Every structure is written in C-alpha cells, then in structure tokens.
Amino acid sequence: MIIHKTVLLVDDSPTVRRMLDWSLKSLGVKTVQAADGLEALEILRVREVDLVIVDLNMPRMDGIELIRSLRGDEKHKRLPVILLTTEAREEDRELAYQAGANLFLTKPSTPALIRLNAAAFLEIKAPAQPEARKAQP
C-alpha cells in the first residue's frame, strides 16, 4: 500500500530517525529526514510535506525554534507537527504548545503509538500491527 503523503523526521540521532522510519513504514507513507531544524527548513523550502515529527533537543536549531519558524511562515502555518522528546517536564510541554506544536509525545514511545498519531494527522487508517514480542527461544 503506497499513500502519497510525506512525513519529515527531524532528529539529530540517526538511530531515532531510522526507528521512526521503521515505525511509519506500514502506513505506506514516504519519509524524508533532517538532522536538525535548519536542515528541516531547507527541505521544507523545496518539498511538500504533510507532517513533521521533530525532537526537542537538537544542535543548531532545536524543535521549539523550528516550530516557531514554521508558525511564522504562511505556507507552513497549519502544517501538523508532533514533538517527540525525552523532556517530560511540564515547562517543556507548555513551551511546545505555545510555540505551536500539535502534539507533545514523550519517549520512550512505541511504534504503534507513533503510527497511530501520525495516521490521525495524515487522516489515513493505521493498519493493526503487533508490537515487538519477546523473542522465542
């Protein structure tokens, strides 16, 4: 199943980007990746994107700065943004929503939860898929 929607994954950790890519694969969406907010803005200048999943703590430009920049730009004012972070403090949650995040998710998340939320913002149906089970001996 191929859905013609694109998700931009913004995280300085290649492992997290691969994890998100893997989590979203069964939705059939296309993903593009950026290592920080500045790289994300470069991509958004030339590509149409339907959803952004962004980390909070990143070098050069963090997630909050990126969201503020998007909300100040007519083209991306309503682009859905999920902020995914290990920072679970209320201050950070408030900061994220004030900046214009649509959803604040804390790590560790699960592929299913990421898929479910991404599908909701993309207005597509998330296929049921079991989470990683314990390996069989």
Partner 1 sequence: MDRETALRELNAGSPDLQRRAARVLGRWTDDQVLDALIGALQSPHRGIRDAAADTLIEIGDARTVKRLLPLLRSNTPAVRNSARWLLQLLAKAAPDMLIDLSRDPDLRMRIFAANIMAETGDHEMAAPLMDLLNDPDENVRDAAVVGLGRLGAPESVVRLEAIASDGGSWTRFSAIDGLGQIFSPDAVRALLRLLASAPEDLLEPLLDALARQRSVDSILPLIQKLHAAPAQGSLIVSALAALPPAEVVSRASLCDRAVITGAISEALRQNGKGPDVAAALLNLLGELGMKVDSAVLFRLLVSGQRVVQQAAIRAAGKLGQADLAPLLHQLQSQGDPLLKDEIQAALSHLGEAGKERS
Question: Which residues in this chain contact partner 1 in the complex, by CB under 8 A?
Answer: 2, 13, 15-16, 18-19, 22, 25, 56-60, 62-65, 86-87, 89, 91-92, 95, 107-111, 129-137
Of 85, 16, 55, 3, which is closest to residue 67 (Cα–Cα)? 55
- Least CB distance from residue 74 to partner 1, whole Å? 22
Q: How many CB atoms lie within 10 A of CB 134?
A: 5
- Least CB distance from residue 96 to partner 1, whole Å? 9
Nearer to partner 1, 13 or 125 (CB): 13
First-to-final CA distance of the chain: 33
Of 84, 17, 90, 80, which is closest to residue 49 (Cα–Cα)? 80
- Least CB distance from residue 129 to partner 1, whole Å? 7
